[in-house]
Chain A
């Protein structure tokens, strides 16, 4: 440890720290713009100039390493003169448009100008004007305000891994911009809004809608992927007007994915349900809650009494709160029904011994040395997990990939096996076999992979996993959704065990861990989601889902619902519910209810409603409670979400931890054969995973959303089939067909057509990973 002095205060510091680090730890504020704790040092704004004893010139605190005995003054006459000088330069070309600037009130330049600026400018020359740039639907620009701190550029290079913004030009003609007419498209792009210390980059959807001091900030947890990013919702007049990150180093650090940031827009969607609806013949009636609930409960009872409880299916979205998952399960069980699931997008719903989870903390991901990523379109599933792994790779970790598309992860991939979805299990078998050849014990999996021929890449992946200290084998959403899930899981477990790695599941929904932990799963004799589709029920109770989109087999789901006698939908949005439902109960959306999510590392994060539900909508947990009461079930007398949570998780997080288990389903590994012919890769696109993202206009206007509307194939396949890129093509699957525009993606595995699941354009198609045919129109 070294000892330095800042403004007379003695501070112990470590070798390699900067004056800025030391000052921040000691609670001494040094003004700055370009410095950011997560970005490389640029030292370009010069605002943090301080006086260092024996240094002839003021030094930038952000870039000056500490030395033993160093004496720093941040407030000496010399330091203040330098800081004020810099402030004057920053302001001479900065417009005085604070009154119409969205950053006003939360602007670093504005704040610091109060302390370091003069009341009037001495600059008498013409001021600079910079043309605004079109960065796409998420980020608004007022580039004349830019102070060239380069944070946004460094963010792209260092955190996003993709340099979309640069600073072309020289001298005072330097401008932040994307490459000529392109826009930014990265899934983390919105973070530059927070990083920009001035009003040059601001939120486009939020633009001009409120002043920061008019907004109250309410803490929330992002309801999308399994990360559980911490949010602040900014509320005015009972409306959420924007979302910003809340720092949590253990989870989202200081970042948000664009999905977390902009999905609040859906709260104002046109198809919000505000009153209960019941079907009467072909007509829909708006009714009061009492009538709707009575009708729902009555109709359910009739089905149970006539056909038995097994004639009902309960399907919940994994993005509901843990309290709702608990009550939903309790309702099903109370009716004696074991057909209950939250895994609608999953083809193989075999029972697992526990709740799958990350297997480690989120922060530990960044510390890994070796990773095998299996069946994950990671950037789009978990944008911030991709970021964590990117930082690990930068640190020297080896990232190995087994997937059906060689998507650009924006970091170095050590080795990869890219093969069609039905070949993924075989690829894993190769790696397992390579481990066996290296003398590792594969346990029960040994026999099934004994005859597998090992490719060089598989051997390289095995070798990679056999080196390094901290390692993980991670299963992604494609591995989870795929019909070969259980076998992939078994193989992954064998690989992890044989290589000394931790097996982790990249849980991709906000409360999937919670849902599993509180038993929102089929009972011993019950049907899972896929079986409830394959073997249609007489009645369905749907919680927060859009079945035609969420299902593994959209066409099958359509058929099942149309064949049923009763569908009760608890939903915040109308969607297509009137096609299949008989009773529609409007429930509170994200931000409108108290509750908690259990994230992928098993952390329970609770939150309060930030705004009141739309219209007469009520929190789902309250609706479920009343339904329970009306059905005469015991144990539905909760007054608060906390009370439900106490019942669901009596030992709080410990109750979750007791359920965490990444063991695969019981049964023996059987190596599935890879299919012939064309095969669909039907991932859930980044902005189609839930009702909110689907209804956020800004997200729907992004390149990612555009890409999800296309059917993608490799150039050689397009040519072989005599098709043309950019032209409509007919997609035929068992159970349904659809027409989409054809796109070319040479990074796909051979024999793969990528057609998004969870998408209106594919909602008449069959299984997400089933056989598919492309036909010329």
Chain B
């Protein structure tokens, strides 16, 4: 189900922990699986659980507890906008409105062409640089303005 490259990445994570605690690598392994597959299907979660010798339900618990895992397909570009108080004070509301109007979707939705998914996020620990968003979980864009958001969206093919 996962490529040799992904498995090698997971093995590297597993090596960080004592051998009897492979389960410690489940967050990384799910993240790596999601990076390759786009989202975490039931099969992907079960695969990861088996790979790490842990009950599937325990891996599913993890996948549903941490909100950066996607348990349903998302667009090619997932934009997660922080709307928490500091970002809100710094203009996140306006960015949220702009994003939704521009893409014609609400938070938690995906554009019909499968290009964008919009999500509302909680504090990302970079409040001084807000408003800010994450692109596909890993790339942070800060000090957003309506103009910079437009540019960003255009670059996401």
* Cβ–Cβ < 8 Å partners of A162 in chain B: 55
Tell me whether A168 and B61 are in contact (CB under 8 A). Answer: yes
| Chain B nearest CB, measured from A626 CB (Å) | 56
Among B56, B65, B67, the residue within 8 A (CB) of A179 is: B56
Residues 50 to 87 of chain B near chain A (Cβ within 8 Å): 55-58, 60-61, 63-65, 67
Task: Let me know if A165 and B65 touch, CB within 8 A.
Answer: no
**Contact (Cβ within 8 A) B57 A179:** yes
CB of B64 within 8 A of CB of A169, answer yes
Beta-carbon contact of B65 and A163 below 8 Å? no
A169 to chain B: closest residue by CB: B64
B21 contacts the other chain (CB 8 A): no
Cα–Cα distance between A712 and B120 once the two chains are bound (Å) = 51
The closest CB in chain A to the CB of B43 belongs to A180
CB-nearest residue of chain A relative to B41? A180
Q: Which residues of B contact A177 (CB under 8 A)?
A: 57
CB distance from A208 to the nearest CB of B (A): 29
**Residues B42 and A166 in contact, CB atoms below 8 Å apart:** no
Instruction: Report the nearest B residue to A178, measured CB to CB.
Output: B57
Interface pair A179/B64, CB less than 8 Å apart: no
Are the CB atoms of A166 and B65 closer together than 8 Å? no
Residues of chain B within 8 A (CB-CB) of A167 are: 61
Instruction: Choose one: B42, B46, B57; the contact of A165 (CB below 8 Å).
Output: B57
Residue of A with least CB distance to B59:
A179
Give the chain B neighbours of A165 by CB distance below 8 A: 57
Q: A139 CB to closest chain B CB, in angstroms?
A: 15
* Residue in chain A with minimal CB distance to B42: A180
Q: Does A338 contact B (CB under 8 A)?
A: no
Q: Looking at the assembled complex, report how far the CB atom of B19 sits from the nearest CB atom of chain A, in whole angstroms.
A: 15
Asked whether B60 lies within 8 Å of A180 as measured between CB atoms, the reply is: yes
| A175 nearest in chain B by CB position | B64
Cα–Cα distance between A20 and B61 once the two chains are bound (Å): 30
* Given A179-B46, A180-B42: A164 touches B64 (CB 8 Å cut-off): no
Give the CA-CA distance A168 to B56 in the complex, in Å. Answer: 11
Contacts of B63 in A (CB 8 A): 168
Q: Give per-residue flags for A155-179: 1 if the beta carbon is below 8 A from chain B beta carbons, else 0.
A: 0000000111111111000000111
In the complex, which residues of chain A have a beta carbon less than 8 angstroms from the beta carbon of B67?
A: 170
Cα–Cα distance between A598 and B54 once the two chains are bound (Å): 41
Bound-state CA distance A169–B46 (Å) is 17
Most chain A CB within 10 A, of B42, B57, B64, B67, is at B57
> How many whole Å from B48's CB to the nearest CB in chain A?
12
- Which chain A residues lie closer than 8 Å to B56 at the CB level? 179, 182
If A180-B42, A180-B60 touch, whether A168 touches B55 (CB-CB below 8 Å) is no
Contacts of A164 in B (CB 8 A): 55, 57
Q: For the complex, give the distance between the alpha carbons of A180 and B64 in Å.
A: 12
Alpha-carbon distance A164/B56, docked complex (angstroms): 9
A178 to B58, CA, bound (A): 10
Residues of A within 8 A of B46 (CB): 179
Whole-angstrom distance between the Cβ of B71 and the nearest chain A Cβ: 10
Distance to closest chain B CB from A74 (angstroms): 34
Interchain CA distance A716-B114 in the complex, whole Å: 45
- If A179-B46, A180-B42 touch, whether A169 touches B57 (CB-CB below 8 Å) is no
Write the chain A residue with the least CB distance to B55. Answer: A163
Docked pose: A162 CA to B57 CA in angstroms: 10
Give Cα A166 to B42, complex, Å. Answer: 15
Residue of A at shortest CB range from B64? Answer: A168
Minimum Cβ distance to chain A for residue B157 (Å): 33
Return the contact of B65 from the options A170, A178, A181 (Cβ within 8 A). A170
CB nearest neighbor in B for A171: B65
Look across to chain A and name the residue whose beta carbon is closest to the beta carbon of B49.
A179
How far is it, in angstroms, between the C-alpha of A179 and the C-alpha of B54 when the chains are bound? 12
Residues of chain B with a CB closer than 8 A to A163's CB: 55, 57-58
- Distance in angstroms between the alpha carbons of A169 and B57 in the assembled complex: 11
Tell me the nearest residue of chain A to B56, going by C-beta.
A179
A164 to B61, CA, bound (A): 12
Measured between beta carbons, the chain B residues less than 8 angstroms from A181 are 42
- Which of A166, A170, A182 lies in contact with B58, CB distance below 8 A? A166
- As a 0/1 sequence over residues 703 to 747 of chain A, the CB contacts with chain B under 8 angstroms (1 = contact) are 000000000000000000000000000000000000000000000
Chain B, residue nearest A177 (CB) = B57
Interface string of A169-199 (1 = CB under 8 A from B): 1100000011111100000000000000000
- Which residues 6-45 of B sit at the A interface, judged by CB distance below 8 A? 42
In angstroms, how far is the closest chain B Cβ from the Cβ of A683? 26
Chain B contacts of A178 at CB under 8 A?
57
- Nearest to B65 among chain A residues (CB) is A170
Residue of A nearest to B54 (CB): A163
Q: How far is the CB of B99 from chain A (nearest CB, A)?
A: 25
Q: In the bound complex, how far is the Cα of B42 from the Cα of A182, in angstroms?
A: 11
Q: Smallest Cβ distance from B156 to chain A, in angstroms?
A: 29
Residue in chain B with minimal CB distance to A181:
B42
Complex interface: chain A residues within 8 A of B65 (CB): 168-170
Q: From residue 67 to 117 of chain B, which have CB atoms closer than 8 A to chain A? A: 67
Task: Tell me the minimal C-beta distance from A181 to chain B in angstroms.
Answer: 8
List, in ascending order, chain A residues with CB within 8 A of B58's CB: 163, 166
Complex interface: chain B residues within 8 A of A182 (CB):
56
Report chain A residues within 8 Å CB of B60. 166, 168, 179-180
> What's the Cα separation between A172 and B119 when bound, in Å?
20
Contacts of B57 in A (CB 8 A): 163-166, 168, 177-179
**In the bound complex, how far is the Cα of B61 from the Cα of A182, in angstroms?**
15
Q: Taking each of A164, A177, A180, A181, which has the highest tally of chain B beta carbons within 10 Å of its own beta carbon? A: A180
Q: Which residues of B contact A (CB under 8 A)?
A: 42, 46, 55-58, 60-61, 63-65, 67
Complex A-B: 10 CB contacts under 8 Å:
A162-B55, A163-B57, A163-B58, A164-B55, A170-B65, A170-B67, A178-B57, A179-B55, A179-B57, A179-B60
Given contacts A162-B55, A168-B65, A169-B65, 6 further A-B contacts (CB under 8 A): A163-B55, A164-B57, A165-B57, A169-B64, A170-B65, A181-B42
List 5 tightest A-B contacts by C-beta distance, closest first. Answer: A166-B57, A168-B64, A163-B55, A179-B57, A179-B56
